[in-house]
Amino acid sequence: MVPPEALSAHPPLGDHTSDRRMLMLAGAATFVGTGGALGAWMLIKAIAFATNLFWFGRLSDAPSVITDTSWGIGIVAVPVIGSLIIGLMARYGSEKIRGHGIPEAIEAILYGESRLSPKVAILKPLSSAISIGSGGPFGAEGPIIMTGGAIGSLFSQLFHLSAAERKTLLVAGAAAGMTAIFGTPMAAILLALEVLLFEWKPRSFVPVVIAVLVSLLWRPLLIDSGPLFPVEHSVSLDARLIAIALTMGALAGCQASLLSALLYRIEDLFGRLPLHWMWWPAVGAVAVGVGGLIDAHVLGAGYESIRGLLEGSFTMRVALSLLFVKAVVWLIALGSGTSGGVLAPLLLLGGALGFLVGHFLPGGSALWALAGMAGTMSGAMRAPLTATLFAVELTGDFAMLPLTMAASVGAYAVSVLIMRRSILTEKIARRGRHILQEYTVDPFDFLQVRQVMTPAPKMLPSCMPVAAAVGFFATEAEHRSYPVIDNDGKLTGLVSRSDALRWQVEGAPEGATLAEVLSDASQPFGVPEDPLGKIADLMVDTGVGRIPIVNPVTHHVEGLLTRQDLLKVRDVRRGSERARSREETQNTTSSRKTI
């Protein structure tokens, strides 16, 4: 018989599944947020130091602009030298420093139990600083996401936390680093939710927000206060401008899709070179150097160029150069497998597109540069909410939120129709791993057993002789197993066809009853209020495919849940998403007949 204490062990259901360890993670997030902010500060200083060293031959971490260099034809050589160093670091240090940074973080979360090594935490920002400082057309966001994530992962490993808790602190560190670099706390939180966490639970959301807030408090002391590109557009938004923004977003979505396709086509071409991959960044850097000779604005992270686009201070010629030359050098450099991010280049390319098109639109080029940035980022990364907030947080012009929202949604809609995967997940898919970025509530989590179980199943009395049970399975049984109950209707166990076959072959004690041979009190069971997921887990843990459902008050068997019942739930849910209702179909048919 099922012991009463087992029935009382079922906790009441709630909207969320968090426990007190969430508070522990929130406390840990304060340290991770501090680490992310410090990592961002060190990365900025390292980029400035590398820029001064490569382009001006001085030992300084003061801000400098590559366009002020006097290298002349030597511009071609500097990116090659930097890329040779990166190739050596990747070959003899860690191959994980190659690439965007964000795909590697996603892969570590989903397939690596959120474990990142100290080597990656050190080499990734160092290699990125060398790459950007030597003219690589990348941003700092990918490296800081990997660095901040490594800080959170290492902290978790130090205290032997679970894989889920490591994931939370890894993402918290990544969001903290992004906040410190760009001063965009809301966008960093949304990036965590849309791209990195693959869940929306209090246990992860609360620590991520705490880490972001801590990083935001450190930012004025370490880096700067206020928006990165403070701009205010004196434009009153109306329906016409919002409609244009949607169209601009669609155009930006096409641009994002084209950039993603070209990037991986170029990556495939590098894979065919008869050279070890260590040399690929140096080969790609030749194109970067040539691009720098054409227009030095395409070198480096390009933050000054982004500022110029948002302020509307560039000429059409400069914007055209940024749109085409920057795209070419960035695609070739990133396709070569060097170390660098995608976010800043996407902003720059989207901004250049919007700036150029904006010359023919109401509101001015600067306004549409902002819309283009949001659209291209949304389309390429498949993160429309992140792109919407990121653009306005960068400028501090929150009045433009409807504009960036329209552009982001327009680009997102076009992108998901054109591209199977984002610029981030395509890299992971090429390693044979599929990622689904659509989040839905699992029916196993919100449907309860009472809604799916077979009620009032046929049951066998515990006083039934074993010989009678063998005969029942041989002649009358319609199912594989049946609950066994005592005289009070309480569960004693479960008897199956395999039990009957065993008794028939091996023999059973003379005159024995089912109560005597099924005296095992460990019989798995569920209660009607249990979520289906709990019963599915119980089936996996015990290997039992038919679970009796017991009333927790009367202890009587109320139903039976089988594996087939669980499979039907998935099939019904899938059908409900595809099938139209009968009324809807009839209305449509009636309308067609009328026409």
Among residues 222, 254, 288, the one where a domain terminates is 222
Q: Could you give the strand order of the β-sheet that contains 491-496, starting from the edge strand earlier in sequence?
A: 460-461, 481-485, 491-496
The verdict on 539 and 406 lying in the same domain is: no
Closest CA to 440 of 591, 570, 282, 338: 570
**CATH code of 455's domain:** 3.10.580.10
For residue 249, what pLDDT is reported? Answer: 96
What is the spatial distance between Cα 326 and Cα 164, in angstroms, rounded to a whole number?
39
Q: Residue 350 domain-assigned?
A: yes
Residue 578, pLDDT score: 62
| Residue 11, pLDDT score | 60
Q: Is 495 strand, coil or helix? A: strand
Model pLDDT, residue 532? 87
Q: Cβ-count burial of 5 within 10 angstroms (0-12 exposed, 13-18 middle, 19+ buried)?
A: exposed
Q: Which domain holds residue 563?
A: 443-567
CATH number for 397: 1.10.3080.10
Q: Which long-range contacts (CB under 8 A, 24 or more apart) does 424-430 make?
A: 424/100, 424/102, 424/103, 424/106, 424/195, 424/342, 424/381, 424/382, 425/103, 425/106, 425/382, 426/260, 426/264, 427/99, 427/100, 427/103, 427/264, 428/103, 428/106, 428/107, 430/264
> Quick check: is 301 in a domain?
yes
Q: Are residues 162 and 104 in the same domain?
A: yes
Same domain, 365 and 466: no
The answer on 160 and 109 residing in a single domain is yes
- 213 and 144, same domain (yes or no): yes
Cβ(331)–Cβ(337) below 8 Å: no
Task: Say whether both 53 and 131 belong to one domain.
Answer: yes
* Domains: count for the chain: 3
Residue 281: closest CA among 292, 266, 293: 266
Q: Say yes or no: 206 and 93 in one domain.
A: yes
Assess if residue 257 is contained within a domain: yes
394 in a structural domain = yes
Q: How far apart are CA 525 and CA 10, in angstroms?
A: 11
pLDDT, position 102: 75
Supply the pLDDT for residue 362. 92
Examine the domain organization and report whether 45 and 152 are in the same domain.
Answer: yes
Say if 14 falls within a structural domain.
no
Nearest to residue 67, comparing CAs of 284, 343, 302? 302
Q: Tokens 């039934």, residue?
A: 464
Q: What is the pLDDT of residue 585?
A: 45
Q: pLDDT per position in the chain (595 positions), as tens?
A: 555 555 555 566 666 677 788 899 999 999 999 999 999 999 899 999 999 999 998 999 888 888 888 888 888 899 999 999 999 998 888 887 787 667 777 777 777 777 877 887 788 888 888 988 898 888 777 778 888 888 898 898 888 888 889 999 999 999 999 999 999 999 999 999 998 888 888 888 999 999 999 999 999 999 888 888 998 888 889 999 999 999 999 999 999 999 999 998 998 999 899 989 899 999 999 999 999 888 888 888 888 888 899 998 888 888 998 899 999 999 999 888 887 778 888 999 999 999 999 999 998 899 999 999 999 999 999 999 999 999 999 999 999 999 999 999 999 999 999 988 888 888 778 777 777 777 777 777 778 888 888 888 888 898 888 888 888 888 888 888 888 888 888 888 888 888 888 888 877 677 788 888 875 557 788 898 888 888 888 888 888 888 899 988 888 888 899 888 888 887 776 666 665 544 444 544 443 333 3
Residue 348 backbone dihedrals phi, psi, to 5 degrees = -65, -45
Cα-only R_g, the chain: 31
Question: 530 and 423 in one domain?
Answer: no
**pLDDT confidence of residue 13:** 65
Final residue before a domain boundary, out of 187, 222, 257: 222
Assess if residue 231 is contained within a domain: no
- Does 414 lie in the same domain as 367? yes
Place of tokens 């028939």: 504
Crossing angle for the helix pair 21-56 and 141-158, to the nearest 10 degrees: 140
Q: Is residue 595 part of a domain?
A: no
Instruction: Find out whether 43 and 340 touch, Cβ atoms under 8 Å.
Output: no
Asked if residue 336 and residue 214 are part of one domain, the reply reads: no
Q: What contacts 444, CB < 8 A, 6 or more positions away?
A: 531, 532, 533, 536, 566, 569
413 occurs within a structural domain: yes
Separation CA 138–CA 145 (nearest Å): 14
Residue 93 CB neighbour total at 10 angstroms: 17
Look at residues 163, 197, 222 and tell me which one is the last residue of a structural domain.
222
Are both 423 and 449 inside the same structural domain? no
